[in-house]
Structure 1
Amino acid sequence: MGNSMLVFIFWFLIAVIFYTYAGYPVCLLIVSSFKKRDVKKGVYEPRVSVVVSAFNEEKAIEQKLLNLLELNYPTEKLEILIGSDGASDRTDEIVSRFHSPRIRFFRFVKNFGKPHVLNALLEEACGEIIVFTDVRQELDYESIHALAANFKDPEVGCVSGELCFKTEARSILGHVGKGMDLYWRYEKFLRKKESEIGSMLGATGAIYAIRRSLFCPVPLDILVDDMYVPLSIVERGYRAVFESRALAYDRPSERGGEEFKRKVRTLAGNYQIFLHFLNFFMPWKSPIAWQLFSHKFLRVIAPFSLFGLLASNLFILSHPFYFWFFLAQILF
């Protein structure tokens, strides 16, 4: 391969990496400034079903249920469905202590996996609106009202809330907590702008809601339901939007290894999503082709882009600039 071709590859990959992390957000900011689609929100209090899949959550399930029971929403219009996915700890015992008529508890004899539990709970749910949430996070007092207001707009099929990390957690956990907080600020900016110009590509699993009538069973092998469910709704012509007032509070993991495992799972889940929604990459068929390619696909292949940059740089070290750039890559 000629030297000029290697130089071209080097600069092409520089451009791809720059666009992935900086260029795309700038483009979103520009596009949203003149192509903003407002959501026609209004007071709306439909019957709501909150669904939670739990597996060995004895440390957090009690606080989660107390949190859900305290939410500001008409008591007669809110039900809570808990699915214990073959728990082997005290999760079932703890949930059974709650005698609220709003809590409906379903035990599964073995660990079938989250998609199976969600599909089963949705068959039992009575609400017009379904709210998905994880055990670990607490929901804000007004979060259900904030989500529901968006469904006043008939074009909206899915609404994602906002995941926030508690201030004290960020200060205690140091670099891991601060890193997670920075990542989520960046990610929320992208989701907000994507929502403004049409639809987001996914939701936060901590808090998101859909119209019950639009739910399709989640394939049992899916790793990221919070991306599959919104995209399946967008596929049918509805919008998936971001609601910054619907808050869920979390503490970042104290161990970087746990966050790494989550990232690996999300990465694998993204590959699954690409295969399930290949038609979304076709601009003539999909209103979110640009967003999906820029936000998700380029992010997924970023490690390969970085490796390609390093490899191409290795063969053009004769020029001082490329030598120092290569050294910087090795060091950092």
Structure 2
Amino acid sequence: MELLLLISIGLVLYTYLGYGLVVWVLIKLRPRRPAVADISDEFTPDVTLIVPAYNEADCLPAKVANSLGQLYPRERIQYLFVTEGSTDGSDDYLRIHYGDSINVLGGSERRGKVAAMNRAMLQIQTPIVIFTDANTQLNPQAVRNIVRHFRDPQVGAVAGEKRIQTTDAESAAGSGEGLYWKYESQLKRWDAELQTIVGAAGELFAVRTHLYEPVSTDTILDDFMISLLIAGQGYRVAYEPEAYALERPSFSILDEQKRKIRIAAGGFQSMARLTDLLNPFRHGWLTFEYVSHRVMRWAVTPLCLPLILLLNTGLVLRDGWASGWGLLLTAQILFYGAAWLGYILEKRQLRWKAVFVPFYFTFMNVCALAGLVRYLRGNQSGTWEKARRADAVDAVI
């Protein structure tokens, strides 16, 4: 039991702390990757900005204004809003108010986001396409900052950064989500410096049009699959933190739970379809990063955490509380107690930042286990599921 417990603890520590340290050391030991060229008026390839927008009428005015406000030569950028299946008048609204400035791909049938994206890609004539969500706001230099990476012919895709807008009075879920994405952003910087990032966030990412591979219409994490399929072809997926999408945290803990479980189910679905990436002889550094950053976090750590608690309890029952195992179990009880307190406070709309880290860490892993159950039961589909977000705020992070 001792050996199994120590191995489980080691796997968790490696996933959340050790991997980042290993990548940082490897970066220091390897020659630095050439710096990305500064923004230049000389490199402005034609691009298309695609905005999937299922029943997003309340977001469209701000999104259109934000898209048209990109600091990129107007003659070099096209806009395609995909409103397929929307029932809130989005299609008519866009055509009537912005028909001269943007293109709209509508339709009455709701076939899902991936089907809509696959259909939209058939119309793209530009060499680069950028995907962004309707409920996010991009910084004005986002397109320029992303495009500059495509000077490198080995770059097949570029991921922007997702940033969560929070205030001091936000819920624990929102605060934890923001902290999580800050940590994720740092790991992505290191991943990109070592070789490639392993999965783009759908809020903002770009691909070379000819490298786009249509994915199955029941795919949950389309952004993850699309970017990893390009990486699997031998291209790098670069990371650009100065091209960012601002998004509000989930409206409530229940909304965040629903979103996290769906993402986790999509993660297991993706891993089942990307088994080729587990071959280090073919993919080298990509396999190392994919297993360490994604497979470990989605499929290993969530199973290790309850096993650690169970084994630790067994050792305390055998050796007593006075043993070293008693200290470890006490630490676990305090940690999960803080997580439970954070959950109770959140349910009562009371916020205490001191407990949101253990709360959000536990919350993510519980949702991962629930996502595994959902995936094994086959209870997921590729149709668009609009998540409720907190109201907009004036402060920008």
TM-score normalised to the size of structure 2?
0.79
Question: Paired residue for 2:34?
Answer: 38
Q: Secondary structure at the match of 2:203?
A: coil
1:286 paired to 2:283? yes
Question: Paired residue for 2:111?
Answer: 112
Superposed displacement of residue 90, structure 1: 2.8
Superposed displacement of residue 204, structure 1: 1.6
1:26 paired to 2:21? yes
Question: Paired residue for 2:271?
Answer: 274
> Structure 2: how far apart are the matches of 1:104 and 1:208?
20
Query: Which amino acid counterpart does residue 201 of structure 1 have in structure 2?
Result: V
Q: Is the 8 A contact 1:130 1:211 kept in 2?
A: yes
Superposed displacement of residue 162, structure 1: 1.2
Q: Is the 8 A contact 1:86 1:111 kept in 2?
A: yes
> Structure 2: how far apart are the matches of 1:133 and 1:203?
11
Q: Secondary structure at the match of 2:315?
A: coil
Question: Paired residue for 1:249?
Answer: 246
> Structure 2: how far apart are the matches of 1:119 and 1:39?
33
Question: Paired residue for 2:379?
Answer: none
1:56 paired to 2:55? yes
> Structure 2: how far apart are the matches of 1:95 and 1:172?
35
Q: Is the 8 A contact 1:171 1:177 kept in 2?
A: no
**TM alignment of 1:152-171, pairs within 5 A:** 152-166=151-165, 169-171=166-168
Query: Which amino acid counterpart does residue 285 of structure 1 have in structure 2?
Result: R
Question: Paired residue for 1:322?
Answer: 325
Q: Is the 8 A contact 1:54 1:84 kept in 2?
A: yes
Query: Greater shift after overlay, 96-105 or 70-79?
Result: 96-105
Superposed displacement of residue 171, structure 1: 2.3
Query: Which amino acid counterpart does residue 34 of structure 2 have in structure 1?
Result: D
Question: Paired residue for 1:78?
Answer: 77
Question: Paired residue for 1:14?
Answer: 9
Superposed displacement of residue 326, structure 1: 2.5
Is there any run of 5+ residues in structure 2 with no aligned partner, and where?
337-397
> Structure 2: how far apart are the matches of 1:224 and 1:38?
31
Q: Is the 8 A contact 1:132 1:207 kept in 2?
A: yes
Query: Which amino acid counterpart does residue 123 of structure 2 have in structure 1?
Result: E
Superposed displacement of residue 117, structure 1: 0.5
Query: Which amino acid counterpart does residue 125 of structure 2 have in structure 1?
Result: C
> Structure 2: how far apart are the matches of 1:307 and 1:177?
25
Q: Is the 8 A contact 1:163 1:204 kept in 2?
A: yes
> Structure 1: how far apart are the matches of 2:5 and 2:213?
44
Q: Secondary structure at the match of 2:88?
A: coil
User: Identity of paired residues, percent?
Assistant: 28
Superposed displacement of residue 85, structure 1: 2.6
Question: Paired residue for 2:145?
Answer: 146
Query: Greater shift after overlay, 248-257 or 66-75?
Result: 248-257
**TM alignment of 1:217-232, pairs within 5 A:** 217-232=214-229
Query: Greater shift after overlay, 128-137 or 318-327?
Result: 318-327
> Structure 2: how far apart are the matches of 1:159 and 1:124?
21
Query: Greater shift after overlay, 42-51 or 18-27?
Result: 42-51
Question: Paired residue for 1:3?
Answer: none
> Structure 1: how far apart are the matches of 2:226 and 2:156?
10
Q: Secondary structure at the match of 2:144?
A: helix
Root mean square deviation, CA, Å: 1.6
Superposed displacement of residue 174, structure 1: 3.9
Query: Which amino acid counterpart does residue 293 of structure 2 have in structure 1?
Result: H
> Structure 2: how far apart are the matches of 1:286 and 1:39?
24
> Structure 1: how far apart are the matches of 2:277 and 2:209?
23
Q: Is the 8 A contact 1:62 1:94 kept in 2?
A: no
2:262 pairs, out of 262, 265, 268, with 265
Superposed displacement of residue 63, structure 1: 1.1
Tell me the alpha carbon deviations over residues 157-191 of structure 1, each in whole angstroms, 9 at most, x when there is no partner.
1001112223xx33242422221111001101111
1:191 to 1:137, Cα distance in 2 relative to 1, 3 A: same
Query: Greater shift after overlay, 222-231 or 254-263?
Result: 254-263
> Structure 2: how far apart are the matches of 1:40 and 1:140?
19
Give the aligned length: 325
Superposed displacement of residue 100, structure 1: 4.4
> Structure 2: how far apart are the matches of 1:177 and 1:271?
24
> Structure 1: how far apart are the matches of 2:211 and 2:33?
21
